[in-house]
Amino acid sequence: MRIQLCFLAVLVALGLLLSIHPQAKVQNPSQVATQASGDSNIIELNKYLGGTEGKLNNKPALNFKFTNTNGSATNTCSIITTDNYLRHSKNRLENINLSESNFYFDCQWNGTYYFLSNRYRTYAEVIIKQPDSQFPMSMHIEAKLVSLTGERVEIISGDISLRRKSR
């Protein structure tokens, strides 16, 4: 009985997914190739768009936006972290399979939303490099995200300066 209920729940969820995204095709995630960066499944970030203050889990938070110089203005990735987690993180933010509620990372890229999940192997790691007399504060980003249709994407970056360049 319990197995039948679980199977029915999966069918209902799949039906809802397909009704929300009529173009969505159910595919084996290992066979999916995304269009994140040409025909590959890698997004390379290299440009900081700016930051804003906000809330995460009803706590004060900072939101940082990134893109790449080749992408369109609608292709962005976001880091949001609580002030407290950022201060006590020892310059390393990490979220594996949604294990950390004070740090989140997601991307909107070529019309597809990529996010952290506890159903797939996903993670996000951000290394914060503190400023010195020669270099501004920067972030190094690595992540593996998934879309609603099971598409996977890898996010990579070099050290991205958090100093916004004038337009």
Do residues 144 and 137 make contact, with C-beta atoms less than 8 angstroms apart? no
Is residue 46 included in any domain, yes or no? Answer: yes
Is residue 8 included in any domain, yes or no? Answer: no
> CA-to-CA distance for 32 and 20, rounded, in angstroms?
20
The range of the structural domain enclosing residue 140 comes to: 29-161
Is residue 12 included in any domain, yes or no? Answer: no
Q: Please report which confidence band the pLDDT of residue 2 belongs to, taking 50, 70 and 90 as the band edges.
A: very low
What is the number of structural domains in the chain? 1
Do residues 107 and 153 make contact, with C-beta atoms less than 8 angstroms apart? yes
Is residue 145 included in any domain, yes or no? Answer: yes
The string of pLDDT tens digits covering residues 122-153 is 999 999 998 888 888 999 999 999 999 999 99
pTM above 0.85, yes or no: no
